Amino acid sequence: MKIVDVRCAIIADTPVVRVDCDNGLSGFGQIEDVREYRAEYVKQQVQFYRKFIVGLDPTDHQHVMVKINRFVGFKPWGSVVSAIDVALWDLLGKHFGLPVHKLLGGKVRDKVRVYNTNTGEPLKNYAPEDYYEVARKRKEHPYGFKIFKFGVGFHGGILDGVPESYYGTTLGGPHPSRGHLTESGLKYLVRCVEALRNALGDGVGLALDCGPGFSVPSAVKFSRAVEGFNILWLEDLITGDYTPYTEVKAYKIVRMKSTVPIHTGEQICTRYGFKELIEREAVDIIGPDPADCGGLSEIKWIAEYADLHQILIAPHSGFNGPIGLMASVHVTSTFPANFIAMEFPFAQNKIWWDGGIVKGLPQPLVEDGYVKVPEKPGLGIELDENIARKHVREGDEDFFETNAPK
């Protein structure tokens, strides 16, 4: 059995990777993001990696990944390697007639808890009343989520729009602003968190995506100020999205001084990127993204290693569609008991969810905040080529031609 081709197409605004074998089987993976500035980059990268893995035996999965995972980098530069890893697992599952979770060691849970970050009701002005309204609406979503995450603080440049909220420089997104909170900035943040807790009520997990950007004293002060609101975790207070480093020492200081669990990790790649963070017990919870950290193989290692250090895991998901969702569900179903929940990815292009591009998704997709673990071979889903062809970007049509060299 040999890999004969690797290719990529933009389908409904999402880059999809396909790995073909000489026996006619194909596996599929999905790239982390739909943003335009990444689309052309990922297509070129797929071509770059192609020459390293065509001709190899995909049943030697680790051998294939060793050939390319030395090129992996901090988010988003690891996304192509991660997508190829997912496509290989899908391919192997189809070849052996087993669901991906069995190839990864087997599931320990039949359904995976997912947390909500976005159901399409954006916050308009990030005022406490706005947080209250949006939280109330999200709580009523038919998927029945029991954990909600909201961006506060420096996340997404929110504090840039709040006058006199911090001492620092506004850089303009997506570059993360950094700074030290003013008294009014801290009070504003606490009012937002209070509004969220009031809207969600008791018995619902509330996580806050905070940065990156807090100074260490501001991070500590904020964590203590929201102590009474039963926060599930404070994410990326110091570094995170768009920062190609981790600041392990700073996280350790914040963790030691906070009673609210501290979380980070969405931008970090490979088990080696997590090593120091885990060994120094610098956070309570890690949030690697299987779409960026090197794929299912890497996140499995990271989850197990964290568990050995009593560190919890709540993976981020940059996947913008159901291929990525199912890949994440398979791998998290095999995680040890340190697993809390994984982020549910709402694709920006809704056609991925209700347009029939993917067949075999659980129905309902999410029930009471859980996704059922698929039991069909591979990822347990199939691309409907006829429908996918209608949404493929012009110039990418040969993606669907079996084993055609690209």
Residues engaged in binding Mg ion (CB under 5 A): 209, 236, 266
CB of 283 to Mg ion, least distance (A): 13
Nearer to Mg ion by C-beta: 222 or 399? 222
d(CA 15, CA 13): 7
Nearer to Mg ion by C-beta: 20 or 209? 209
The beta strand positions in 72-229, using DSSP E, are: 111-115, 147-151, 166-169, 178-181, 205-209
Going by C-beta distance under 8 Å and a sequence separation of 6 or more, which residues neighbour residue 381? 322, 323, 326, 358, 359, 360, 361, 374
CB of 343 to Mg ion, least distance (A): 9
d(CA 152, CA 173): 15
CB of 318 to Mg ion, least distance (A): 9
C-beta of residue 283 within 8 angstroms of C-beta of residue 255: yes
C-beta of residue 274 within 8 angstroms of C-beta of residue 268: yes
CB of 206 to Mg ion, least distance (A): 15
CB-nearest residue to Mg ion: 209
C-beta of residue 319 within 8 angstroms of C-beta of residue 313: no
Nearer to Mg ion by C-beta: 93 or 261? 261
Nearer to Mg ion by C-beta: 258 or 334? 258
Of 65, 63, 38, 34, the closest CA to residue 49 belongs to 65
CB of 203 to Mg ion, least distance (A): 24
C-beta of residue 149 within 8 angstroms of C-beta of residue 241: no
CB of 265 to Mg ion, least distance (A): 9
Nearer to Mg ion by C-beta: 285 or 373? 285
Nearer to Mg ion by C-beta: 218 or 267? 267
Of 271, 118, 295, the closest CA to residue 286 belongs to 271
